[in-house]
Structure 1
Amino acid sequence: MSDFIDHVHAVHREVGRRAIPAGDGVTVLLRRRFDSPVADVWDACTRPERLARWVAPVSGDLRVGGSYQLEGNARGEVLHCEPPRLIRVSWVYGEDVTERDISEVTVRLTPDGDDATVFELEHAAVDDPEFFDRYGPGATGVGWDGALLGLAFHLAGTDLADRDTLHTTEAGRAFVVRTSREWGAAHRAAGASAEDADRAAAATAAFFAPES
């Protein structure tokens, strides 16, 4: 369990805003340093057979202008790509979506010496005020925390076992609760009251990892 908690503290989290085509978007940003060179991290983020090992199986035309589908998850279009430093995709989850439901995910990689990489992932979405009030940024951020946990294991050479059911284990639930609290702290740093941020963080933890 302590290994998972170490991974929680390895990530810096921020909440902000920026404009996206769908409107004024709320952003969640995760930043983490990996002891792997940029070329390896880029390969893990863009090659389908490696993405399947830490996110989900992906299909489609993975070029700028092409579309992709994550199995059991989101779909979208490749909007921008600058190997090996930046990739931006649209992110569409669910059916019968409107333009406001189309968000953007951007991954930026920066070398930290020859053998390490600073990884940043930003997800920008036009929020539903009622939903955001209830769950806060953790509704988006906690899922990405789980993905970064999987990426950390993958880059270290040992893929995360039982990734899809991790939240049902004691260690996995503790990870979700801790990351939800960290998103609560980022929410407060962005201007939310402590009461609102803590309430939303608790709701997020209960949603992703309900007590049995």
Structure 2
Amino acid sequence: MTDTVGQINAMHRRLRDTETPKGTGRSIIMRRTFDAGVHDVWEACTDPERLGRWFAPVTGEMKLGGHYQVEDNAGGEVLRCEPPGLLRVSWIFGEPKEGEHSEVEVRLTPEGEDRTVFELEHVAIVDPEFWDTYGLGATGVGWDLGLVGLAAYLAEGEAFDREATQAWSESDEARTFLAASSEAWGKANAAYGTPAETVAAMTSATTDFYVPPASGA
């Protein structure tokens, strides 16, 4: 379905500290350019019907003050909505623990009529034990996998086949992609300043989570 090396290299990844209403959190930032106009990308990211084609079924209203729920995933409130350039939402799984905080912001910048710079920032304060095990990789790899669908959808348009994308996600090719994504986030973790031994342990744990040994291995 996808060029693993091309998809990994198309995305720029980094980690930074970010102040939130509940204290200092860490942001993962992902940026790449799509060959699609900014209004097309905006609608693909905010229209529930179009989101359901490449990401997951979404209910609710993606407008300021609206609430949404991604099927079998997070939900929350739309905190900022400035079409066609900025969307910020709270990103909540179930009942958040005391002190936890999670928001996702999507920023779109047009490059001419038919290209758009896409940037996603996910800032969170998470359980320290979870962070010490996986670092930024657990969240980053999940978004990498989700955005493979967006890249395919924008490239293929009406020919996009979500069922084929779902089948791909369980293939050996997808396992290779997930392992490569984990390594890419490990490099971003190192660039942030995390010690090499810690990066190696976090990357290994993330890879094992997303790419468990094949049955019988």
Q: Shorter chain as normaliser: what TM range?
A: over 0.9
Alignment-mate amino acid for residue 81 of structure 2: C
Alignment-mate amino acid for residue 79 of structure 2: L
Matches of 2:196 and 2:43 in 1, distance apart? Answer: 40
Alignment-mate amino acid for residue 99 of structure 2: R
Q: CA deviation at 1:160?
A: 4.9
Check the 8 A contact 1:37/1:116 in 2, yes or no.
yes
Percent of residue pairs identical: 50
TM-score (norm 1): 0.94
Please list every run of 5 or more consecutive structure 2 residues that lacks an aligned counterpart in the other structure: none
The correspondence for 1:185, drawn from 180, 184, 187, is 187
Q: Kindly tell me the number of residue pairs found equivalent between the two proteins.
A: 211
Matches of 2:26 and 2:187 in 1, distance apart? Answer: 16
Matches of 2:169 and 2:204 in 1, distance apart? Answer: 15
Q: CA deviation at 1:130?
A: 1.7
The correspondence for 2:197, drawn from 190, 195, 198, is 195
Q: CA deviation at 1:68?
A: 0.5
State the match for 1:8 in structure 2. 8
Matches of 1:196 and 1:25 in 2, distance apart? Answer: 19
State the match for 2:91 in structure 1. 91
Alignment-mate amino acid for residue 135 of structure 2: G
1:79 aligns with 2:79: yes
Check the 8 A contact 2:44/2:50 in 1, yes or no.
yes
RMSD of Structure 2 on Structure 1 (CA): 1.6
Label 1:164 to 1:21 Cα distance change in 2 as closer, same or farther (>3 A): farther
Alignment-mate amino acid for residue 102 of structure 1: H
Would you identify which runs of 4 or more consecutive aligned residues in structure 1 move more than 6 Å?
Answer: none
State the match for 1:146 in structure 2. 145
State the match for 1:132 in structure 2. 131
Check the 8 A contact 1:104/1:123 in 2, yes or no.
yes
Label 1:61 to 1:4 Cα distance change in 2 as closer, same or farther (>3 A): same
Matches of 2:2 and 2:80 in 1, distance apart? Answer: 38
State the match for 1:64 in structure 2. 64
Q: CA deviation at 1:131?
A: 1.2
